[in-house]
Structure 1
């Protein structure tokens, strides 16, 4: 089959686009609002976009708390969502009202960050402390503003649980991160394989 994504004339029960760009890492974003209240929410439109400098981004549909807080305070933390934390991560996706902490809703302990003020998820084996670099609205071909806005942050401090470092390398199989697939489907990393790049 083939279809025009601008017309969405695929004839399927649901748009398959998200299932085609998958699996996608989950940015479990913790922030503080200007009153110091904590927020925690998962974003599947998330990724690293540079390692010089270390930049990550998440994209929000509508001005949700994570976007607003990251823009207004200039800080956020990306916590690694893992298989062991999948249920808690899912709870934090609920549309809680402003000021109600998803940490408490999901029964998650906070841990202090080093450089930024937002707390990290204590049980998460990896956390990236970030300073907001840019908040970028997205547009279509006609120049019309999209429903999504991208928040880009520079990583200013990194936490890694020593338990997932094996022989000097981070073991993602030990961390078991989860990723968003299509529809309500997720995947988790439990096995890895290696391939060497061709010599040039």
Structure 2
């Protein structure tokens, strides 16, 4: 019996050592959405332009979902994206951050442009109608929900991840919210 207990303890110890020295990894989803089908609207002065993500092929694209009335996650994440862009220096020209509003009722393209420009002029604020917002969320395998949307000051539940798309339009990394700009830079640099 003692021999079996010793073997068991040895096996558990070796397993523990192995797992302590193993870095955790996040399994990447097999995602290459048909980005030409992801239609959104951009406010450009007095006109509204229709575009899609495939127009940014050749750049690293950062996609973040949110809305302009968000009290916490959205402004903090947009500040982190700004810090990452600033930290990238000249390489920031090779990155296109896109803030996709899921609040299709309140966030117009013009409102989004004004909102994102407050954080950084390089961040593109876009939206669409409910049908396309639903399609975009389906492509990114994320969700959102308008809470008590019959009231004027409703909240929106939404994904808080930052999606990093490479130059060939493949989602390469999904970062959780709350990462500082330096961590976003670390995730982007290998893709430049």
Higher relative contact order (CA 8 A, sep 6+): 2
Q: Give TM class, smaller chain.
A: under 0.3
Q: Normalising by structure 2, what TM-score?
A: 0.27
Q: Which has the higher helix share?
A: 2
Q: Normalising by structure 1, what TM-score?
A: 0.26
Q: Which structure has the larger Rg over C-alpha atoms?
A: 2
